[in-house]
Amino acid sequence: MLGFLTRPLHRLLSFLCPGLRIPRLSVLCAQPRPRAMAISSSSCKLPLVAVCQVTSTPDKQQNFKTCAELVREAARLGACLAFLPEAFDFIARDPAETLHLSEPLGGKLLEEYTQLARECGLWLSLGGFHERGQDWEQTQKIYNCHVLLNSKGAVVATYRKTHLCDVEIPGQGPMCESNSTMPGPSLESPVSTPAGKIGLAVCYDIRFPELSLALAQAGAEILTYPSAFGSVTGPAHWEVLLRARAIETQCYVVAAAQCGRHHEKRASYGHSMVVDPWGTVVARCSEGPGLCLARIDLNYLRQLRQHLPVFQHRRPDLYGNLGHPLS
């Protein structure tokens, strides 16, 4: 199985998939799968997804221009779905600026993305929109909203981040998301897309396996964690957590990430990637803004779940409700 990345093995991809144009991409060969689970279907017939990596700033229009360029590139390459990271719309310098720049779902910025989806004819995962909800007038706080658009530009799902990142990491600086953001009230049921059934989450949600297991049990085949990990937690935890969520749920995991320095107060780790249900990284972005591509093989996912039926072996009679805080 092949994933796609950023330059050297261009000729191999051209040989395997004639006619596929690759502007800034190369191939990442996954580690071999167990022999019993080898897939004979042609990889070029499988749905292709694009994972976009950007460096958002407080300049919303420049951010849209950057994202639109990557989405159009993904469409040219044949992707059916493009994933954008958390805070694709902007990353502000402080909570006051965040609230000032935020918009409702019916605002100008989302309209531009609905037009972009229609223009390109592909689905968009907008990984973390700073949303002024219906309670804005009462709370003066926003939601970190993951919006899924179909290829006609219609909003087919919204998930409001349920776990807010209020942490103090030495060397990375404090973050208190709840200063400006309300936690979402519920999970969103997995959504059928041309690539498979997608379960929506956002960044810090990745640290809560209960959420990913709930989405998998509800039918998810792809989990998506659009993120903006920092420079300390990124190298230590990012890939480990993504691979763990993929292995324990036997889902594909797609993680679009912010990268680089957004302004004088904040920088992000990057390393956007796609992980298959075996836990193998099948695509990874290089340094800086760009995209990577991967094909989603649901036959392989089903075969893996058949060979390793962990969901049939669970003991809810023993675990109880794992969501309670430690005593």
Q: pLDDT by residue (tens digit) across 57-104?
A: 999 999 999 999 999 999 999 999 999 999 999 999 999 999 999 999
* pLDDT tens profile 133-146: 999 999 999 999 99
Q: What pLDDT was estimated at residue 4?
A: 45
Whether 317 is in a domain gets the answer no
Q: What pLDDT was estimated at residue 33?
A: 46
At 213, list the tokens.
């297991």
Domain count for the chain, please give it.
1
- Told to judge if 203 belongs to the known catalytic residues of this protein, a careful annotator would answer yes
Q: What does the buried/exposed string (b/e) look like for 172-194 if buried means 16 or more CB atoms within 10 Å of the residue's CB?
A: beebebeebbbebeebbebbebe
Average the pLDDT over each of 17-21, 148-152, 278-282 and give the range with the smallest value.
17-21
Examine the pLDDT at 2 and tell me if it is beyond 70: no
Q: What pLDDT was estimated at residue 325?
A: 58
Whether 184 is in a domain gets the answer yes
Whether 60 is in a domain gets the answer yes
Examine the pLDDT at 288 and tell me if it is beyond 70: yes
Whole-number percent of the chain with pLDDT over 90: 76
Sign of CA dihedral 134, 181, 59, 239: negative
Strands 155-160 and 143-149: antiparallel
Euclidean distance between CA atoms 102 and 203, whole angstroms: 19
Beta bridge partners of 147: 126, 158
Q: What pLDDT was estimated at residue 30?
A: 38
Look up residue 278 and give its DSSP letter: T
Active-site hit among 67, 203, 251, 285 = 203
Q: What pLDDT was estimated at residue 168?
A: 85
Examine the pLDDT at 320 and tell me if it is beyond 90: no
Active-site hit among 161, 177, 197, 221 = 161
Q: Which residues contact 211 (CB under 8 A, 6 or more apart)?
A: 162, 163, 187, 201, 205
Whether 321 is in a domain gets the answer no
Active-site hit among 73, 86, 131, 177 = 86
Whether 323 is in a domain gets the answer no
Examine the pLDDT at 22 and tell me if it is beyond 50: no
Q: Residue 323's pLDDT band (boundaries 50, 70, 90)?
A: low
Whole-number percent of the chain with pLDDT over 70: 85
Q: Which residues contact 313 (CB under 8 A, 6 or more apart)?
A: none
- Told to judge if 86 belongs to the known catalytic residues of this protein, a careful annotator would answer yes
Whether 180 is in a domain gets the answer yes
Whether 8 is in a domain gets the answer no
Q: What pLDDT was estimated at residue 175?
A: 83
Q: Which domain holds residue 80?
A: 48-312
Asked if 94 contacts 66 with a C-beta cutoff of 8 angstroms, the reply is no
Q: Supply the CATH number for residue 299's domain.
A: 3.60.110.10
Examine the pLDDT at 38 and tell me if it is beyond 90: no
Across 43-50, average pLDDT: 90
Helical H segments across the chain, by residue range = 10-16, 60-76, 95-101, 108-120, 136-139, 209-217, 233-249, 298-307, 316-319
- Told to judge if 17 belongs to the known catalytic residues of this protein, a careful annotator would answer no
